[in-house]
Structure 1
């Protein structure tokens, strides 16, 4: 059995005010940065989880063959499949045919997004969430192993406050 590098383990305590879903709730969980995962991917995955956690069956996944965040129906098919950062586009186009709702959370104005947008626009069941990279970079600079975040999600922005800082999106598009 392999020992886990403790510096890669995070304790999350999220208080989420989701104005899009008109829900307030708390999420407490332990998660880890996987071996080849970038901090950008990790932060986007946590944000994606906060966007879907209004549904108690939302699940963070670490297996690269699964969505980063998912919601399954009782019959085990995916009702929501969320992939973050710069997912494999060929794989996503196949998966999109098998799920009810397909969501991509990525940084706005990225080269990946510019290349993927034409193909994604042809999928009827997809949603694209774009967040400015400056928001992710600010969180990354102050990331600690204890993630005590107060997250507010509304139709035009996302903000996070922790014990020392306040971060907010300059760009947040959910289409």
Structure 2
């Protein structure tokens, strides 16, 4: 994947092996990929290969090897959000069209610091899920609250909405 994160003034290529987990949906996998792209401007980004309970999907390690930033793809319960927040300094949730989920959680998040929630268009996520292949040759551009992905054939775009 070629990633141009214009917000962080970073352009780089990422080459790695990723596989869909047994119980993982294509949409979750796409959110995880996009989350990885969003954090990959930093050198210490990690991708969860094998599903482990309460492990983030993507994370950044600090110099001591501890999780500094944890990214979780998809919607999670309030108790899970609170649990995840205790495991990292900053927790990021990447969701798709989760207005109802967020509306239910928002009143409870006032007391919780260090959590960010970003939303992408569900159409964008499902379009990317439908074009997943064994070898991803994506060009990803992140700029001014918009993410664009091209697979050399088609072009997909979504606004990145910061919910919290």
Is TM-score (shorter-chain normalized) higher than 0.5? yes
SS in 2 for 1:49: helix
Does 2:63 correspond to 1:70? no
Give the equivalent residue in structure 1 for 2:41.
54
- Aligned partners of 1:96, 1:114: CA distance in 2, in Å? 19
Which residues of structure 2 form unaligned runs of 5+? none
Give the equivalent residue in structure 1 for 2:160.
172
After TM superposition, the runs of 4+ consecutive aligned structure 1 residues lying more than 4 A away are none
SS in 2 for 1:63: coil
Q: Deviations over 1:105-156 (max 9, x none)?
A: 0012443333223323432211111111010111122221111100001132
Which residues of structure 1 form unaligned runs of 5+? 1-13
- Aligned partners of 1:166, 1:55: CA distance in 2, in Å? 25
Does 2:27 correspond to 1:25? no
The number of equivalent residue pairs is 161
- Aligned partners of 1:39, 1:95: CA distance in 2, in Å? 23
- Aligned partners of 2:72, 2:55: CA distance in 1, in Å? 9
Give the equivalent residue in structure 1 for 2:152.
163
Match 2:139 to one of 150, 155, 164: 150
SS in 2 for 1:59: strand
Q: TM-score, normalised by structure 2?
A: 0.90
- Aligned partners of 2:99, 2:27: CA distance in 1, in Å? 13
SS in 2 for 1:30: coil
Between structures 1 and 2, the one with greater strand share: 1
